[in-house]
Structures are given as C-alpha cells and as structure tokens.
Structure 1
C-alpha cells in the first residue's frame, strides 16, 4: 500500500513534467499535442459506458490484437468496445482498421486524477491489458471499483524481470490484481511467477501475434502499392525491404545496399522507418549518400530510383508482399527486434540481427523450422563495416537463390499457421470473466 501511495504521489508531482515531455515530443510529431485532454482522462462525452476496454500501446500491438478485437466485436455486438493506445501511430492504426466499430481514445497518464476520470467516465466491466503494460495506479483503481482485469499475450523478458525487480514492492501487487495473466510461453509465465505472481493466476495461452491473416483490405493495399512500382517488364528488379528501422539501422542498411548493388545494380531498397518523426531524417540520410529516392508520401512512381521510402502510416504489412527479402529493424541494437511473423505471413524470407530479445520464443520456433536467417552475434558488437558486410552477403545470396527464398518463406509461413489459436483462448477467458 505504501508503495502505491508513493507511486501516486510521485506521478502526481511529475504530472507537469510528463505533459511538458509530451509537448517536447510533439515538436517532431505534432500529433502528440493533439487530444491532450484524453491524456488527462477527459474522454469524449459521446462514448458509451459499461463495456470492455482494451489497451494496445502502439502499432505493433494493434496489429497483433486485430483478430482478437474482431472476435470481441462478434461476441459482444451490443457492448461498447473501447480500444486505447498511447502513441499517435497506434491511434491511426485503430481508426484505420476498425473505424467507428470501436470507441477509441488515448489511455491517460497513470496519475490518480487522470485515471479516475477515465474509469468514472467509461465504467467498464472488464479492462484488458497486453504484454508488459503494467500501469499500477489504474490497475489498482480497477480492482477497487470491482472492474475485472485480464492481461493477455503476457510477455516478460529476463531484462524486464531484472528492471521490475528493482520496484518489486510496487509491481508484484499490480500483477496479483489481475484475475488472469495469459502468457505467450512457459518462459514468460515463469518470469511473472518469479516477480511474485500467484501461480493460480498465470497460464500459457500462446502468442496472439501468430493470429494474423491476409484479408481483402490488405490485398487491395498491396495492389495499390504495386501500381506505384513501374518497372520495365524486360528489366524486373529484386526488392529488399528493411522494416521498422531505428537510428543506426538505416546507416547499416545503406552500407550493405551499396555492396548489394555491386552484385545487382538493379536492386530496389524499400525503407520503412518505425517512427514518423524520423521520416525526413531518413530521407536526408539516403540523399546524402547519393542514392536516388522516391517517397511514398509524394505518390510518385518508382521506376529506376535506388530507394523507395515508405513515409506513410499503415502500409508496412502490405509492402511485405512486394519484397523478395525482408530485414527487420531493431535487431541490430539494444531495441530487441520487431515482429518477423508479419513478413512470414507472406512467405517472405526474413533476415534479422543478433538481438531479437523481444521475440525469443518466436525466433526459436522459426529457427527450429529453418524459417529465418539470423546474423552472428559477433557481428552485432563489431564495427559497422563488418556487420554491413555480413548483412550484404546474406541478402545477396538470398536474392540470387529463388528456391532457397521460397523454402525459408514457406517454412516461416507454416510456423505461423501451426501456432494460431491464442485469440480464441483469450476470448474464452473474457467470456468466463464477463459471465461471473
């Protein structure tokens, strides 16, 4: 109790600082200063009450939850389903995928007045969090208000355990306020228990990120992107897509791309930065290295340009369908990688760096089925030159070997299909809680 009171007091004192931090971030991404009232718990007055609130922090979580949200909508057609995010890109993804079929707002800052206003306005029967989203104050308020709590797709890496252990007196009570914690894997469940989760609350449900599919909308978007690629029929181009890049990833990719073009000068690089506030910086970086560039936002055809920069939101999944080889950003640094299952859905061979700590279990499954290519651990710690050389060699060999590309892509796709079902199991627990 003392830890929670201290946490509430600390965040209340820091509230002005948190708001200033959002405003500072909005200098690069103006969307952060929009709908600021929602950050303070002031929800639009037309929102319906008494339903289910589901929190998905950003784009990746929204995509992973798509199948689950669709099942919620089908199961509870008369209940308001509210999907919250914390980032503008996540907000845009919710609105793109679901429109007015769900209510959407930002999850407020985890400070007592803000979270109180949020819960008092929506009065949910059930609140669902995802993965490592542990908000001690709002979780405690939910329990106090007898709002049922469910954590789905629970993920807790060894690093997270080490960090959370420093504030265990605050985190352990928060974990044990959940009615159930549905974990991605046995390892994740054991990590929750190590942090003090009562064993009867935790179980393995599988990973929601396997529950993805190619729908009509995605196929239409892929066809739209393909129309922008005006290659000459007698000169087809190999396509290397580098997805969800972070600072440092682009420099690595561009260095490798120079070497790849020595093998095939006709190769096209598609770059997709993770955060929209970096779109312009990445464009300038490409031009500074004397590459020719086409920007998706300009809606200009891609013919002989070296690089196609996807500087728009919500088009990465469709872009995977255009690639011959995909590399996931964030895996060459301490970010921990991004979801390799999305390109696997399109049967694309995926190359990653040595740090995929965010997806350890997924990585192991893909490697066991020879459905992914991972660079050596040594390359991560060495100089950019050696890392880019290994990356270039790996990508070039795949671009030149169609049969190998197809085999790796098919193996990865099979892993996706064989591990689907977490959405249905999560829905079963929602129904059990709602029926109580």
Structure 2
C-alpha cells in the first residue's frame, strides 16, 4: 500500500515490481555480501565502506540493495557495474524466501535502524551471519520500538554483530535487548566522506555555468514547507544583500517542478540546472533540479543551510559542506544527525537556530545568513572548525570492513 501511495508522486515506484516480490529479473552471482542501504543518504554514507569491501575482498560479489528509486539511481552513479544491485523485497515470508534462495549470501549487512524482522529470522534459520552497521537509535525512536520490544528484541539478538555510531546509541540498542557481547562502537560512517575526481569535475561544470560574481547561499535537501520559509528569508536578504544568489536543491526529484513554480510565484528570477541555464547578474535563484550534484554544490557555495531541519523530518547531513570548510546553518530539529550535530556544536562548528525564542524562524535565518555574509572571518572560523570535526571522527568505514573478515575467511 505504501508503494502505491508513493507511486502517485513518483512513477518509478511502479517499476521493477518483481524485485519488490523477491524475484530477481537478471542473473546475479551468489554466495556474496549483501548490503542494504534504504535510500540516497545511506548509499552515499556507505561509499567508503563499499569501496573498502571491493578492495579488500575483490573475489567476493557484493550486492547493494535499496528500497527507493532515488537510492537505486545513486548506486548506479557511485558504483556502476562494480556491485550487483536490486531492490530489497517486501518483508513478508514468500518474498524474502525467494530473495535469499536466489542470492544465498555469505553475510547480510543492514544499516542504522533497518530492522526487518522476517528477513532477519530467515537468515538466522539459514545460518547466515548478520551485521547491523552504523547503528543509530535515538531516545525518541526508542519509545516507538519499546512498544514492539517483543519483536525488536528477538530480531536484535539474532545479529552476529551490531556496530553503533556512539555510546549513546550502543546503550539504546542494549536497552532494547541487543547482546552485550556483540554490540560495539565503530563510529559514524558518514564522517568518512572524501573528495573524488568526479566531484571535482562536477564543481568545474557548475562553475562553467556561473557568469556572475554573486555570493552564494546554498539551501540543500529541502522538503515541503522548507522552501516557503527560505524564500521568505531570501526576500529580506535581497534587501540587505542585493547580489546574493540562492542555490536551491530540493531533496526529492518529484518536487522539482513544484519548487520551480513556487520560486516564480515569489517573484524571483530562476535558472534551472536541468536546462543548463547560465547564471547571470540578474539571476536570483539557481534551482538544482538534477541528481548527484549536491556535494559539488557545497564546493562552490559561501554559506550552506541544510533543509529538513525546520520540521519533523529531522535534518540532513551537515558533514558534506563541512568537507569543504563551509559555514553551516541548520534549523532546530537535527534528530537524524543528533550526534554529528552535537559534535559540531561542541566545537563551535555550526549555527543552529532556536525554536524556543520568540523571533520567527525566517527572521532568525535572515539574521544568521546576513551575519556571515558580512563577516568573512567568522565564515572561515566556522568552516575550519567543521572540517576539523570531520577529520577527528574518520575511520569507521575501515573498522567496519575489517569486522567482516571473521565471516569471510
């Protein structure tokens, strides 16, 4: 039912339905490593980990599954034919039985809070080792899982190993019933981001479309409601900073046209990346309505605001702009990245707006962006501190790759 609802906005959910039922429509190698990454963000976070597996175990096939079409597209962009790819089937017995029967994996690796009870039970029955990596379980999520503790605890105890992002996450998994002896801390895979030739080439391509000397404010991974807030803020900022250019990157492709219309309705001159429009001195907003260019956008921005942090969504990864030493502004809700966000706050490496004060959120955002635009030193200090946080926390990917050896040797 959920897939049918999603397909109304994104027809790609209607494609490859046999895979959703566990039927692999193309030949795939068996007896490999199956790694599941739900969507785009998880695929990107796994980049260093998957590359590490491919380098360390070159003769073992790797199957990287996703659940969303955008995640599927990201797999193709990042890894091409170096990995096998299909959708993870629905978590019902016939579908998961077919899936496992066809692939017969040596190891199944799930990520963060991807707990699929039926799939886990079947792997346990078949004697397939399982890891949960980059484990994340917030205090708020705990309340939901505790209502199903009879099911979740049984699933967690079937994992051969659980590797968590932090001691807080480890404590939450243990409280839900995970085994003390097999639940460890690895750190967060999302810190292990790197600049590649592909990213640098995309930065060069973006710069080729810039025919102006605008200061650039990047608003990344926006959701419904975010755009209205930032457009209201942008309207005020243009009075203070007339040459300011906003780069706007909606999170979901099916919303590109809706966001474009909204920008026009607010009276702004918009250039669309998909049309290869040039950005001139008369352009107000550069709408990045393409896939796979967000990291490169961080490379050319002066200031970055992460979407999804102004609502119940819970924010998106602030480490991508941090990799480029860019100052980052986020809204009050960063629950999806609470550990990373707290690390950055502790090191004075991020600006977080406050829902508890009386000033409207759009006005707070205007004030924060304007302050940074007028203070280059503060931009550099924030960016340098953010980059330091990235460097301090790297290494989880290789540690997690090494943990596979006991199951593959």
Same fold (TM over 0.5): yes
Q: Counterpart of 2:130 in 1: which secondary structure?
A: strand
Q: 1:56 aligns with which of 24, 27, 37?
A: 37
Deviation of 1:46 (Å): 1.4
Matches within 5 A, 1:23-42: 23-42=4-23
Asked whether 1:121 is paired with 2:102, we answer yes
Q: Which runs of 5 or more structure 2 residues have no equivalent in the other structure?
A: none
- Aligned twin of 2:245: 268
Cα distance in 1 between the residues matched to 2:316 and 2:78: 20
3-state SS in 1 of match to 2:279: coil
Take 1:143 and 1:368, find their aligned partners in 2: how far apart are those partners?
41
TM-score, normalization by structure 1: 0.92
Correspondence 1:161 to 2:135: no
Match of 1:6? none
Correspondence for 2:312:
334
Q: TM-score, normalised to structure 2's length?
A: 0.98
CA contact (8 A) 1:153 1:183 kept: yes
Partner of 1:259: 236
Q: Offset of 1:377 from its aligned partner? A: 3.1
Residue by residue over 1:222-263, the C-alpha shift from the partner in whole angstroms, topping out at 9 and shown as x without a partner, is 1111111111xxxx2110011111111101100110111111
The alpha carbon displacement at 1:340 in A equals 0.4
RMSD, aligned α-carbons = 1.1
Q: 2:157·2:179 contact (CA, 8 Å) conserved in 1?
A: yes
Q: Offset of 1:196 from its aligned partner?
A: 1.2
Pair 1:355-2:333 in alignment:
yes
User: Which residue number in structure 2 is paired with residue 106 of structure 1?
Assistant: 87
Deviation of residue 424 (structure 1)? 1.1
1:177 to 127, 152, 158: 158
What aligned pairs does 1:64-79 form with structure 2 within 5 A after superposition? 64-79=45-60
342, 350, 364: which one aligns with 1:372:
350
SS at match of 2:360: helix
- What residue number does 1:15 align with? none
Q: Deviations along 1:392-421, whole A, 9 cap, x unmatched?
A: 010011011111101100110011011100
The Cα of 1:299 is off from its aligned counterpart by 1.2
Q: How big is the shift at 1:193?
A: 0.8
Match of 1:321 among 299, 309, 312: 299
CA distance in 2, matches of 1:24, 1:191: 32
1:359 CA drift (Å): 1.2
- 2:355 touches 2:361 (CA, 8 Å); kept in 1? no
Match of 1:294 among 271, 275, 283: 271
Deviation string, structure 1 residues 346-381 (Cα, Å, up to 9, x no partner): 1110000111111111111111111111112325xx
Kindly state the Cα deviation for residue 312 of structure 1 after the two structures are TM-superposed. 1.0
Structure 1 contact 176–201 (Cα < 8 Å) conserved:
no
Is it true that 1:425 corresponds to 2:399 in the alignment?
yes
Distance in 2 (CA, whole Å) between partners of 1:431 and 1:271 is 43
* Cα displacement string for residues 142-186 of structure 1 (whole angstroms, at most 9, x for unaligned residues): 111111100000000111110011111111100111001000000
Deviation at 1:214?
0.4
Q: Is the 8 A contact 2:18 2:25 kept in 1?
A: no
Give the superposition deviation at 1:25: 2.0
CA contact (8 A) 1:331 1:338 kept: yes
Say yes or no: does 1:237 pair with 2:214.
yes
How far the C-alpha of 1:44 sits from its partner, in A, is 2.9
Q: How many aligned positions are there?
A: 408
The more displaced of 39-48 and 214-223 is 39-48
